[in-house]
Structure 1
Amino acid sequence: MSTLHEFATITSKGQITLPKPIRQALGVDTGGKVAFDLHDDGHITVSRADAEHEDPAISAFLALLAQDIQHGRHVQGLPDDLAKAMLRHAEFADLSEDIAGDVVI
């Protein structure tokens, strides 16, 4: 049996407002993120999402990279044609110029 049982209405745009007790239980507020997980049995779990959304492709790449490093394999230099193409499309900052606007560190 659930500890908390609340209802939400779906709008014509497919949106819902999470009831206040649910938001409080999840520890989310305005601008907060929640994750929805659909399980094989049809149940959906709602949880507080991490501060940043993880792109599955980037996560998989980073895991692969970590595995390579752990096994002593290291990323080799880029092929010359790829490196040159990247440089052609890169925008470089002039480090001698003053920074405009606020800087948050």
Structure 2
Amino acid sequence: MATPSTPCSESTLTDRYQTTVPDPVRKVLGLNKRDRIAYTIESDGRVTISRAGDANNDPLLGQFLDFLATDIQVNPQHVRQVSSDLANRIRSLVGNVDLDLDAPLAAEDE
């Protein structure tokens, strides 16, 4: 897959400012007919296209993940392997926690 700064596909705007999303982009985003797409305008003027999220998704999650991706790209030296001591500490804190990500939230958690 191409890096975000390397164009991998192009399309042309019609007289009505419409375009076709190129097949490689549709495949990467998992788009089908009638799906919605989202455009994010970055502070540096770049525009990213993504599959529009479900209305139930956290609206800040995508922005946070974009921030992390940008920070990792700009500052790769900040990415470090988790030490075995930290990994063991995390396991000791959550090792016996049962979690069902598909279970509905309790009313008080909604």
What TM-score does the superposition give when structure 2 sets the normalisation length? Answer: 0.44
Give the structure with higher Rg (CA).
1
Structure number having the greater helix percentage: 2
